[in-house]
Structures are given as C-alpha cells and as structure tokens.
A and B are shown apart, each in its own frame.
Chain A
Amino acid sequence: MSATSAPLAHVTSVPGRSSRLRALVRMPGAVAGIAILVIVAAVAIGAPLFVHSYDLDVTKVNGPLLHAPTGAYPLGTDQSGRSELLLLAWGSRPSLLIGIIATALTMVLGTVIGLLAGHYQGIVGRLLMTVTDWFIVLPSLPLAIALSAVMGEGDTSITIAIAVTSWASTARLLRAQTLAVEARPFIERAKALGASNTQIMVRQVLPNVVPLILVSATLTVAGAILDQATLTFLGLGNPTEVSWGSMLNTAFANGDITAGAWWTLVPPGLAILVVVLGFSLTGRAVERVLNPRLAVER
C-alpha cells in the first residue's frame, strides 16, 4: 500500500494541552462542528421542557392538518396537525440515542477485537482478522436488512444491526494502531519487565489508542445516525415513535411530497445533515489536534 506515509506512532513531540485547545479554536470547521453539537445536544436534552405530551398526542392537538408554515407553526404541521418544529425537536432524541448507543457497541466490540488482533500476532490474531475482514466484505445494508427481518422491527434490532455492520472497520483501524504502538520501545521494556498480556494491552496500548478511538467514535456516530434514518425509512424501525427517520418515512409513505408538503420532508433531512456534519467536522478537528503531523499534511 502506501509505503511512504509513516504511521501515527512516530510523532515524537506531544504539544501541550493549552496549545492544542488553541489550535482547535483556530480551525473554523472545528468551531462550527462543536457549536452544532452543543446546540443539538441542548435541544435533545432540553426537549421535554418545551415539547409536552399534548403536543405529541394526536388526539389532543388541534392544529390544521398538513399546513404550510405560519406564525403559530413555524415549520408547518404534519398529517395529524402536530407542529413539525416540535416533532423535529422531539425526534432528535431517538435519532441521537440510537446513534450513540450503536456507536458505543461498535467501539467496544471494535476496540476489543482490534486490540486482541493487534497484540496476539499468532493464530488468534489471524483468526480474528479473518473474521473481521469477512465482516468488512459483507455488504452492510443487505446484512442490516437481514438482521432486522430476523429480530423483528424496532429500535433494538436497528441498534444491533448498525453495530454488527460497523464494528469491523473500527477493529481494523485499531489493530493497525495497536501494531504501530506495540512497535515502540517502551512496550519491549514493559515485556522485559514481565508485564502480562492484559497489562500491556490495558495499561500501555489502550491509553495510546484512545485518541484514535475518540476520533473514530465521533465519526462513527455520524454514520450511525445516517444508518438509523435509512433503516427506519425502509420500514424496519418503530413507526409510532417520533424520530427523524420515521418522520421521513411517514412523509414518503403518506404521499406528502406529491401533495407539495415540503415542510414534512426538508426539515428532518436537513437536521440529519447538520448533525452528521457536526460530528464529522468535530471528529476531523479533534483528529488534527491530537495528531499534529496529520494537521501539517492536511
């Protein structure tokens, strides 16, 4: 492959924390990304404060049905007369929650297997890598569809399906990083001093791969949110739950777009776009900060 670029391990000087923060702030992409995440988190966590049960209960709302945006309803109303703005705010919760949980599962699985595969170079390592490679090769959406069909529709099966189809690339990345870290002299020293395998992996390797895990996790959340939207759109989610994916599914299935009700279609998609961008920009920025060499090159 590319024989010219050196792996991350060969960074010798690690800049101080304050200079890292300063570097972060100077990047416009980072500022935008973090700002987006902060706003979205605020909306998601604070949603129960301004979205009440009677805003979501179709038997209690009395807004006009499928109406274009007006003063009272800034983003219009849906089929049942609920405010699209409030639905959008409320829908951020499952969308983000599923994304985060799926990512957590992915990272745990990917890290464990990546570390093991990188550390145990022999049969165990190769076996793990074969399994990982096999998972990477499997086309992800057909696999997710198959899993969801087996486990039944709903949030749990979507979360598991996303985790199953995403862990492999994380594992591969972490294995490469583990290999790089273990090539450093201090690992040899630890081995010479009689450290056990677990100690080496947990105490020596893990702290050095944490930056990559953080970056990878941030970027994986972005993908998981996209996946949740796609799987829900295909009908594999919970249709009565309000999430961005289900809002789009409903808009398409009800024929809202044919009726010209763009306000049911555009806001949820834009919300997904913005959140995913937020995670991507933040992840990229964090990566640059934690790995100055890449920052120079890029």
Chain B
Amino acid sequence: MFDPLEATLQIGSSGIQAQSKRMRIVTENLANAQTTGKTPGSNPYTRKTISFEDEVDDATGANVVKVSGIDRSRAPYRTEYNPGHPAADEKGYVKLPNVDMLVELADMREASRSYEANLQVVKQARELINMTIDLLRST
C-alpha cells in the first residue's frame, strides 16, 4: 500500500507545476500583447491557451493533474488603421494580437489562487507527517 501522505505531496506538486505553466502562458500572452507581424498583411501573435486534465498516476494511484495541451486561440484579431506600419495591408489596416489584457489578468489571478491552494495542501501534508514523527520524539 502506498502512503497517502506521500501521494498528497505528489499531487500537490503536480498542481503547482500545472499552475506555473499556466502562469508562464499568461506571461507570454501579456508580453506579446502588442506583437504584430513583419510583412504587409501578415498575422500578429496569436493568443496561447492552456488546458488541464486529470490523470491517475500508475505508480502511486494518485489523481494528479497534467497539462493536456497548449493551443492557439481562434478568436479574431483586432485591427487598427495605421498605413505607415510595416505590417499594414493594402487598405492600411494592421492586425493586432487577439490578447485581452483583462482576461489575461483574471487568468493570472486564478492561477495564483490555485497555486496557493496547492501550496497549502503540501504544507498541511508536511505538518501531518511531522505530527507523526513527533510521536517518537517526545517521550
């Protein structure tokens, strides 16, 4: 039988990993919120999305989370009239990334909240292990 507390630590770390990846994607989106194409009429940076799925770990039977895929958003690009821009098409419109700052910030908040929750679980599991070890210590 596997130690459930060991499994808890593993699950917690899988959650932390998944949320940090999500944070990375949010940062990439925010950093490239103004990235346009280089040639006339070319596409700008496309927003990345991340999705999760639950997975049963074969070794411990723990119900861990893993990143199931990083895709590109299919939302339409914003356009702006700017004829002098190198990426402007023949009518003078430039395609801008489909990144919405507000959505990204909300996503970031949720990621950091979930990260905290996972961290809290790891902390508590460690506390439980310490309590058990303390049984040996104080006699």
Chains A and B form a bound pair:
no
Using CB atoms and an 8 Å cutoff, list the residues of chain B in contact with chain A.
none
